[in-house]
């Protein structure tokens, strides 16, 4: 049962435009949602997170939106830069009530074209 | 110097062999994790440790064991490797005071079981 889904395996965007990466989850038990970026031959690096009680979190060029009714979150990158080309993973975390879960999506490969 | 290091970076072995993957961290974090990533899939949690005396199974612990030798060291063992354990393995750490449990990853170990 895939609890966290990224349905778009790849995305291409022109430099300077907005990149929107999407992620869906299947239940409401998670406390936080996170986005990680991964370059080839490196481990994932944390990008931004959002609490399950929030709708939006912004950090520089990166904004994450959470739609709890739709069980959907998205990462917006504005403006996109060639250095943003990487694989992006969303993750869902639950660490309360004695149950620890950390579930990753399958990733979306973003290519920013110069 | 890297905060989370993994050795070896690449390993090719044969079915039935015992393999140990090692992870060291200089971040001073209590929490450590082992994940595997298969092509086209997200990261899956194998084992996690919240301190030296605390070891917990993740989603896919069958066929694996771990040892937390010190706060800074967490090793993953495959007692009798099989071909479907061919994957990319990541070690990670986190600081429990961080509410979102953002994790810091090592560069990964690519394991091939023939």
List CB contacts (< 8 A) between B104 and chain A.
45-46
Interchain proximity B33–A51, CB inside 8 Å: no
Q: Is B106 in CB contact (< 8 Å) with chain A? A: yes
Chain A residue with minimum CA distance to B100: A32
Chain B residue with minimum CA distance to A37: B105
Q: Is B39 in CB contact (< 8 Å) with chain A? A: no
What would the mean pLDDT of A34-58 be, rounded to a whole number?
A: 96
Supply the pLDDT for residue A96. 66
The answer, yes or no, to whether residue A26 has pLDDT greater than 60, is yes
Q: Is B4 in CB contact (< 8 Å) with chain A? A: yes
How confident is the model over A57-112, as pLDDT tens digits?
999 999 999 999 999 999 999 999 999 999 999 999 998 656 789 999 999 999 99
The whole-angstrom separation of Cα A43 and Cα A20 is 22
How close A39 comes to chain B (CA, Å)? 10
Q: Is B92 in CB contact (< 8 Å) with chain A? A: yes
Which among B100, B102, B106 has CB closest to A43? B106
- 3-state helix/strand/coil string of chain A: CCCEECCCCEEEEECCCCEEEEEEECCCCCCEEEEEEECCCCCCEEEEEEECCCCEEEECCEEEEEECCCCEEEEEECCCCHHHCEEEEEEEEECCCCCCEEEECCCEEEEEEC
Judge whether B23 and B5 are in contact, CB under 8 Å.
Answer: yes
The whole-angstrom separation of Cα A33 and Cα A97 is 17
List CB contacts (< 8 A) between A6 and chain B.
42
Supply the pLDDT for residue B65. 97
Q: Is B40 in CB contact (< 8 Å) with chain A? A: yes
How confident is the model over B25-78, as pLDDT tens digits?
999 999 999 999 998 888 999 999 999 999 999 999 999 999 999 999 999 999
Supply the pLDDT for residue A98. 66
The answer, yes or no, to whether residue B82 has pLDDT greater than 80, is yes
The pLDDT > 90 percentage for chain B reads 89
How confident is the model over B96-106, as pLDDT tens digits?
888 888 999 99
What confidence category does residue B88 fall into, taking pLDDT thresholds of 50, 70 and 90? Answer: very high
Instruction: For tokens 């949690």, name the residue.
Output: B45
Supply the pLDDT for residue B15. 97
Which among B35, B56, B104 has CB closest to A100? B56
Judge whether A104 and A37 are in contact, CB under 8 Å.
Answer: no
The whole-angstrom separation of Cα A86 and Cα A65 is 20
Q: Which residue from B1, B39, B28, B8 is spatially nearest to B108, judged by alpha carbons?
A: B8
The answer, yes or no, to whether residue A18 has pLDDT greater than 70, is yes
Neighbours of B91 (CB within 10 A): 28
Q: Which residues pair with B73 in a beta bridge?
A: B24, B70
Supply the pLDDT for residue B40. 82
Average pLDDT, chain B: 94
List CB contacts (< 8 A) between A102 and chain B.
33, 45, 48, 101, 103
Chain B residue with minimum CA distance to A50: B100
């Amino acid at each position: 049962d895939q609890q966290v889904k990224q349905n778009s395996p790849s995305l291409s965007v022109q430099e300077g435009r907005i990149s929107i990466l999407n992620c869906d989850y299947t239940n409401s038990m998670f406390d936080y949602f996170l986005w990680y970026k991964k370059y080839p031959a490196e481990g994932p690096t944390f990008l931004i997170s959002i609490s399950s009680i929030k709708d939006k979190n912004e950090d520089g060029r990166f904004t994450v939106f959470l739609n709890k009714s739709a069980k959907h979150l998205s990462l917006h990158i504005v403006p996109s830069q060639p250095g943003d080309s990487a694989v992006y993973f969303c993750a869902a975390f639950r660490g309360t009530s004695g149950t620890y879960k950390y579930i990753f999506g399958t990733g979306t490969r973003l290519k920013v074209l110069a | 110097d890297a905060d989370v290091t993994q050795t070896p970076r690449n390993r090719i072995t044969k079915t039935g062999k015992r393999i140990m993957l090692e992870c060291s961290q200089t971040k001073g974090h209590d929490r450590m994790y082992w994940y595997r990533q298969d092509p086209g899939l997200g990261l899956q949690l194998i084992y996690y440790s919240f301190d030296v005396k605390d070891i917990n199974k993740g989603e896919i612990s069958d066929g694996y064991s771990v040892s937390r030798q010190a706060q800074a060291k967490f090793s993953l063992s495959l007692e009798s490797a099989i071909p479907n354990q061919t994957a990319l393995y990541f070690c990670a750490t986190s600081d429990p005071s961080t509410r979102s449990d953002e994790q810091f990853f090592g560069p990964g170990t690519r394991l091939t079981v023939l």
